Amino acid sequence: MDVAVAQRLGVALAIGFVIGAERGWETRAAAEGGRTAGLRTFALTGLFGGLAALLAERFGASLLAVGFLGVAALAVASYFALVRAHGDLGFTTELALVLTYGLGALAGSGVQLEALAAAVVVAAILGFKRELHRGLEWLERREVTATLQLLLIAAVALPLLPDRAMGPFEALNPRRIGLLVLLLAAISYGGWFAVRLAGERAGLLLTASIIFHIFHSIFAMDFWSIWVGPKDIPEIKAEFLREIGKEPPGPKPGKYPLGNRLYHLVVMIAGLIVVASGIVMMYRVRTPVFDRNPYLFSDQTWGVTYVLHGLSGVGFVGLVIAHIYFALRPEKLWITRSMLLGYVTRREYLTHHDPDRWKAPVSRSAAGADVV
pLDDT at 174 over 80: yes
Give me the helix-helix angle, 92-108 and 3-26, nearest 10°.
170
The whole-angstrom separation of Cα 183 and Cα 320 is 10
**Which has the higher per-residue pLDDT, 244 or 12?**
12
pTM given for the model:
0.54
Question: What pLDDT is stored for residue 271 in this prediction?
Answer: 82
Any idea which of 6-10, 112-116, 146-150, 191-195 has the lowest mean pLDDT? Answer: 191-195
Confidence of residue 120 (pLDDT cuts 50, 70, 90): very high
Per-residue pLDDT tens for 258-306? Answer: 777 888 888 888 888 888 888 888 888 777 777 888 888 888 888 888 8
State the burial class of residue 63 (Cβ atoms within 10 Å of its Cβ: 0-12, 13-18, 19+): middle
Question: What pLDDT is stored for residue 359 in this prediction?
Answer: 74
Dihedral sign, Cα of residue 202, residue 208, residue 212, residue 213: positive
Compute the mean pLDDT over every residue in the chain, rounded to the nearest whole number.
Answer: 80
DSSP state string for 140-191: -HHHHHHHHHHHHIIIIIHHHS--S-BSGGG-B-HHHHHHHHHHHHHHHHHH
Question: What pLDDT is stored for residue 119 in this prediction?
Answer: 92
Task: Identify whether the C-beta of residue 234 lies closer than 8 Å to the C-beta of residue 251.
Answer: yes
- Residue 49: how many other CB atoms lie within 10 Å: 31
Question: What pLDDT is stored for residue 34 in this prediction?
Answer: 55
DSSP 362: P
Per-residue pLDDT tens for 203-255? Answer: 666 667 767 766 766 666 666 667 777 777 777 777 777 666 677 666 777 77
Backbone angles phi, psi at 200, to 5 degrees: -70, -15
Per-residue pLDDT tens for 56-103? Answer: 888 888 888 888 888 888 888 877 777 776 666 677 888 888 899 999
The whole-angstrom separation of Cα 350 and Cα 340 is 20
Cα angle 78, 84, 90 (rounded to 5 degrees) comes to 60
CA trace torsion 106, 108, 112, 114 (10° rounding)? 0
Q: Give the chain's radius of gyration (CA, Å).
A: 31
DSSP 370: E
Exposure b/e, 157-185, CB count within 10 A at least 16 = b: eeeeeeeeeeeeeeeebbeeebbeeebee
Question: What pLDDT is stored for residue 171 in this prediction?
Answer: 67
Question: Which residues in the chain belong to E strands, given as ranges?
Answer: 363-364, 370-371
**CA 169 → CA 34, 74, 162, 235, distances in Å?**
73, 66, 17, 26
Question: What pLDDT is stored for residue 366 in this prediction?
Answer: 53
